Amino acid sequence: MTNKKAISPMIATVLMVAFAIVLAILVWFWYSGVIDDYTNKLGLTGQQSCAQEVDFTLGAATIIGTDISFEIENKGSVDINKFKVIITGDTIATEDTSTGVLKASTIPLSIPFNVTVIGTPTKIEVMPIIVIQGQVTICDEKIETSSVI
């Protein structure tokens, strides 16, 4: 008769539960890393970037000669490449700016308008235009409006 010792059922149960917990944690870390890598590789689409990363404020618009001048502050986490400006007076005209605003910066902008076509401008509406992965996107849900003084 041999005298063999074995571990008790209680210790065996504790070891199995601990092993299952460690295995679950390892699977969780692996899975969350795979998901993050996959999302980073895909990147955000233009519309997703508009919704999540574009934020700007529009200062008061003033008429100087035949230009409307205003200031834009980019509070978002992406550069805004340019803006689409809708000028409202007796009629409506649309102009695109030639410059944009880097993230976390403020610049003054000026848009020319034709008095004979528009009359006296009363308001402007400004929409940011961004380029994400070569795709040009107009962020029309991020429109800002200012009365023209």
Tens of pLDDT, residue by residue over 89-133, are 999 999 999 999 999 999 999 999 988 989 999 999 999 999 988
Confidence label for 35 from pLDDT (cuts 50, 70 and 90): low
Inter-CA distances, 118 with 20, 45, 56, 148, Å: 73, 36, 26, 13
According to the model, what pLDDT value does residue 48 have?
Answer: 83
Q: Extract the tokens encoding 81.
A: 């490449």
Domain segments of the chain: what residues?
7-42, 46-147
CATH of domain 46-147: 2.60.40
According to the model, what pLDDT value does residue 51 have?
Answer: 85
* pTM for the predicted model, two decimal places: 0.69
According to the model, what pLDDT value does residue 81 have?
Answer: 95
Mean pLDDT of 46-63: 90
DSSP strands (E only) in the chain: 56-58, 62-64, 67-74, 82-88, 92-96, 105-112, 123-132, 135-138, 144-147
Q: Tokens 């102009």 sit at which residue?
A: 95
Measured in degrees and rounded to the nearest 5, phi and psi for residue 78 equal -130, 155
